[in-house]
Every structure is written in structure tokens, then in C-alpha cells.
Amino acid sequence: MPTYARIAEIEYELPDQVLDNQMLAEAFPEWDVDKIFQKTGISQRHIVADDETASDLAFRACEKLFANSATPREQIDCLIYCTQSPDHMLPATACILQHRLQLPQQCAAFDFNQGCSGFIYGLGIAKGFIESGQCKNVLLITAETYSRYINPRDKSVRTLFGDAAAATLIKASDEAGPCLDRFRYGSDGAGADNLIVPMGAARRPFDAEQMPVEYEDDSGNFRSDADLYMNGPAIFEFSMTRVPALFASLFDEHFTVEHSDLFVFHQANQFMLEALRRRLKLAPEKFITEFKHCGNTVSCSIPIALKESLKKGQVQPGSVITAVGFGVGYSWGGCVIRW
């Protein structure tokens, strides 16, 4: 009998520190609380403390998962860590987490640098490891602290992004058919400069003798080349072009839109998600939105949305979910999850 990969459990962790719309309105007097919410659909974001890293959030998310899981940590044979906020340039943060979580030394552990489509990519990797017989229990961790890259005077990104980590257990199963299916991927590095931290790595390392210069853009946002830059209009155009094409590629005469019970997209912001929902003609009651309390958490946004939907009873055993991630890179991916 063939073995299939299935999602068994999801947990997530948010930092204690909260940045709400009232605090942002005080920092940016030209935007009031209602305007921020209307533009983003976000009420608050969670921000790491100065001495806290993405792997700290990841550790706590995993500890939550093991506390509630029927699968003990001793049975994890692969740890996949998706982040653009590593603890160090080297070694891989996944290896540090393997030791910190007391996982077996026979456990494979590796990082991959992916953003908003990272959860989809991670599920695809886990499926490959399990269904090829290499592993039985894969711990997929997504964790980001974009707040570390954001200039506090740049409202174009400070209003959107929050920090988080999510831990997803993917297990080998004897289910009668694939539970993770119809993976589609894409990338276009021509859009790399539209969502980027220009300085800090090998292409443009920091120079101790010359600190990056802060500048003001046409919208009154301040940043330097050491900060996160997002070209909002370009990202919106990319999303409106690539996501509908990706979405369409997931369906055919054997599996149609009507076969999907729910749709969960990368939880970017209210404006973008509503535009995509309308473009794709998806019913609001089938379209998951769960980011009001945490903002855009990059690779964590889809697992957080799934976990919240599970808690509310929206996702049930047997639910068929179409999942789509898209963003920084440019990179995009989609799949079908049978719960």
C-alpha cells in the first residue's frame, strides 16, 4: 500500500509585545486608527523583543506542538526550517533547533530561505521526503521577524508586517489517496528588487566605516538600504497577474473549483486579498482571512490561518482546502490539502 503525507497538527507562537493601530496612529499623525484598519484589515501586530529571535518563537511553537501531540519528539526524523531571519549566516538555524528541541541525532535538519510562499514549498518538500520513503515524521517550521528589517519611520511596511513562528507536523499516512496534492510552483527573479533588504549580505555587505544613509521617499517614508523596501504597486500588480494564473493551474476536469471547500491564501493584507477574491469570484464564506490579530506574518500566515480556522470549526476532517502562497522573490506556489 502506498504511503502519503498528511498534515497532522499545527501550532503557532506570537511574541508578547504588541504594536496596535493606536500606537501607529500616534507615530504617523496623518493616519488615524480607522484609516490604518481600512487599508490593511489589521488591528495589531506582534513584535519580537530586542533579545528575541525567530528561532526563539520557533522553539516555543514546537514545544506547544509536542505538548499536545501524540507523536513524541523522539520520532521526528526531519526538521525543515523556513526563514529569512536566521540566527547566524552559518550554521543552519535548523541544526541549532534540532539540539535545542532535543530531537534525535538521526534527524535531518536544514534551512531554506523563502518568504510568503515558504509554507507551500515546505509542504512540497515534506511530501517528497515522506512519499519517497526517506522520512516518516517531518517537522516543518516557518518563522520570521521582519520587524528587525523595518525602519520605524516607514509606514508602508510597518503597518503590515508582524513577527511569528508556526510548527506543522507532517506524517506518513495510509490514507486512501494523497492528502497533499497538486503542487504548482513558480518564480521570477526579475521582481527581486521590489521586496528586498538591499544591504547586509555578500552582494552589499555592511561597511563599518560608512553607515547606510537614511532617505525619505515621495510618500514621506524613511528608510536606508539596510532596511526592508517594498514597492507596493509592483507587488500588487505581480499578485493580480501571477496568482490568478497559478490558481487556475490547480484545477482541471477532474478537480474543479467547486470541489474545494475552502481557500487559504497568503494573508498579505485586506486590500490585496479582497481584490484577489473578487477577481477569482470566490465566495466570502469559503475564503479564509485570519490576520487581523497578527498582521502579515510572511511564511507563517497560511499555517496560522489554518490553525485559527481549525479552532473555529471552519476546517473539519475531510475538508478540501486550496492553498496559495505568493510574494518576495518573486515566488509563488499552490497546492490542495485534504484534511
Nearest to 111 by CA among 141, 68, 151, 76: 141
Residue 122 and residue 196 share a domain: no
**Domains contained in the chain, number:** 2
Residue where a domain stops, chosen among 155, 173, 191? 173
- Tell me the residue type at 162: G
Catalytic residue among 21, 78, 135, 266: 266
Helical H runs in the chain?
21-27, 33-40, 54-68, 93-100, 118-131, 155-158, 232-249, 270-280, 301-311
* Residues 6+ positions from 119 with CB-CB distance below 8 Å: 82, 140, 142, 166, 168, 299, 300, 301, 302, 303, 323, 325
Give the model's pLDDT for residue 137. Answer: 98
Give the model's pLDDT for residue 175. Answer: 79
Q: Is residue 166 part of a domain?
A: yes
Q: Is residue 305 part of a domain?
A: yes
Give the model's pLDDT for residue 210. Answer: 79
Q: Is residue 21 part of a domain?
A: yes
Residue 107 and residue 193 share a domain: no
Q: Is residue 218 part of a domain?
A: no
Residue 52 and residue 166 share a domain: yes
Active site residue 116: yes
Active site residue 300: no
Q: Is residue 210 part of a domain?
A: no
The gap from C-alpha 168 to its chain's centroid, in whole angstroms, comes to 12
Residue 193 and residue 164 share a domain: no
Residue 234 and residue 120 share a domain: no
| Coil, strand or helix at 204 | coil
Q: Is residue 91 part of a domain?
A: yes
- Whether this prediction's pTM lies above 0.75 is answered by yes
Catalytic residue among 116, 179, 300, 335: 116
Q: Is residue 140 part of a domain?
A: yes
Residue 101 and residue 18 share a domain: yes
Cell of 271: 486590500
Residue 188 and residue 82 share a domain: no
CA separation for the pair 292, 278 (Å, rounded): 20
Give the model's pLDDT for residue 206. Answer: 87
Residue 267 and residue 197 share a domain: yes
For 27, 93, 187, 258, the CA distances from 42, given in Å and listed in that order, are 16, 30, 28, 30
Active site residue 266: yes
Cell of 93: 538555524
Residue 95 and residue 48 share a domain: yes
Give the model's pLDDT for residue 31. Answer: 87
The secondary structure of residue 176, as a DSSP letter, is S
Residue 188 and residue 124 share a domain: no
The CATH number assigned to the domain holding 291 equals 3.40.47.10
Structural domain containing residue 141:
4-173
Residue 135 and residue 196 share a domain: no
Q: Is residue 208 part of a domain?
A: no
Write the pLDDT tens digit of every residue in 132-154: 999 999 999 999 999 999 999 99
Low-confidence ranges of the chain (pLDDT < 70): none
Residue 191 and residue 150 share a domain: no
